Amino acid sequence: MPAGDVPHLSAVEMARLVRERALSPVELMDAVIARIEARNPTLNALVYSAFDEARDKAKIAERDVMAGKALGPLHGVPTAMKDCVDFKPGWPSTFGGIRCLANAIADSCCTFAERMEAAGAIIVGKTNSPQLGFRGTCDNTLFGPTSTPFKVGYNSGGSSGGSGAMVGDGMLPFAEGTDGGGSIRIPAAWCGAFGYKSSYGRVASMSRTNAFSGTSPFVTEGIIARRVEDAALATTAIAGYDHRDPFSLDESVDFTGALNTDIRGWKIGYSRDFGIFPVDPAVIEVVDAAVKAFEDAGAIVEEVDPGFGYSQSELSDVWCRFSGLNAMGAFEAYKAMGYDILKDHPDDVPPEVHEWDRIARTLTPLDKHNDQIIQTRIFLAMQAMLAKYRIVVTPTLAAMQVKNADDGNTRGPATINGEAVNRLIGWCMTYPVNFSGHPAASAPAGLSSKDKLPVGLQIIGRRYADNDVFAASAAFERHRPWMDSYAIPEARPL
């Protein structure tokens, strides 16, 4: 197989060829690293590389194949992890490009790193993220912004933007994301990839000091991939019980078994705006056309309004208050480790983080209680909607890609259709699903008619019905395939 063809294989194909001894893990790794070295500089997606370590592990993987040893489902397959709340012993962990943490070295493993290595995958490095993963764009003052591979200079989306850009550009078949407001689905949408956030509890979480902090909003590790089958395989690898997580589900599911499910007769609800979001007409045009793929697959599509009962500005403020509380906890944890970030390095985090940390420190227990009542009402509205519909679909994002800033603080749009939105998260139709903990994906819906930039379709399922989301996503991929769109990033100047 020509070396240039190797990186375009799916993770499923890579693993199969390695098992069959038709592809050497060493040759696979060399080809992938060569592609990353050629293509990453213009996107700024991978911010820490461990190529020598990856090559050494590929040699071990090859010896295991030739020795006839038992192989994991992702044996020899390259991937990458996010540089945020994602740890691997001996590797730097900057919590999203916080400058004073540039030389902070992790001494523990996150779920992704632990379970990927158990499955035989080889992690080649860490990908870019905004500080604390606190917004829907990808930029920071340590590493700078990450671009979508479809138009260099325009943002990849965040917070898992480096992973989204690497996958969308074909540097890796899949990579890790974390999602507390859409941070898997947002960059998947803006980079033309498929992103999957599982039901809360499917993927255990170990990378935090407070085991009870990840529920307001619900935060989970997950996968960004080019193909649905790769996301299903990788999610299967990282899902499952862990006694260190009090919310971890004590069951294992093979999500790949759902990919050929017939969705004929399924009732699917479609909301263009969740009843509250202003949405760019360029997004609506693409998503309206994309939804017809479900009808082509035999599903029944009806328009739906969840009836949240709150404005988009009210809900985005709740999300920011929750995230401010989580950020406050993180700052206090780092202070205990000798890093007083806000006092000694105030310019290392953007002004919005300072503001929401300040607000968090003024909140009373009653304030948090009232915000969790709002979260409960959104959860109940989602539950009621999904009791009627097996799947609900929406645009992933209300806005098209924004230009990268030159100050390390790229933000989303200030207005959409003349209506003010929170520039951190208010243009992201993803975070209500983090209030509720339902499984959700973002699939490539198509390209905008004017700029040929990718638009995402959000696919939401019932709680713990992750297989339904994978089934609907796979059906959508069959009836509206998106692989041809990758000719655009493939042809970009390097």
The amino acid at residue 456 is G
Q: Is 183 a catalytic residue?
A: yes
State the catalytic residue, choosing from 10, 129, 156, 159.
159
Which residues are CB-contacts of 292 (< 8 A; sequence separation ≥ 6)? 301
Kindly state the tokens that stand for 447: 């390209």
State the catalytic residue, choosing from 24, 163, 183, 436.
183
Q: Is the dihedral of CA 278, 283, 289, 295 positive or negative?
A: negative
C-alpha dist (Å) from residue 294 to 290, 448, 459:
8, 20, 11
At 11 the three-state DSSP class reads helix
Q: Is 199 a catalytic residue?
A: no
State the catalytic residue, choosing from 10, 24, 57, 82.
82
Q: Which residue has the tokens 């991929």?
A: 477
Which residues are CB-contacts of 60 (< 8 A; sequence separation ≥ 6)? none
Q: Is 159 a catalytic residue?
A: yes
Best CA proximity match to 179, nearest among 217, 214, 219, 210: 219
Pairing of strands 267-270, 391-395: parallel
Q: How far is Cα 385 from Cα 84, in angstroms, rounded to an integer?
A: 33
The amino acid at residue 115 is R
- CA 92, chain centre distance (Å): 21
- 438 exposure class (CB count in 10 Å sphere: 0-12, 13-18, 19+): buried
Q: How far is Cα 140 from Cα 81, in angstroms, rounded to an integer?
A: 17
Q: How far is Cα 108 from Cα 91, in angstroms, rounded to an integer?
A: 10
- CA 120, chain centre distance (Å): 22
- 272 exposure class (CB count in 10 Å sphere: 0-12, 13-18, 19+): buried
Residues labelled as active-site residues: 82, 159, 183
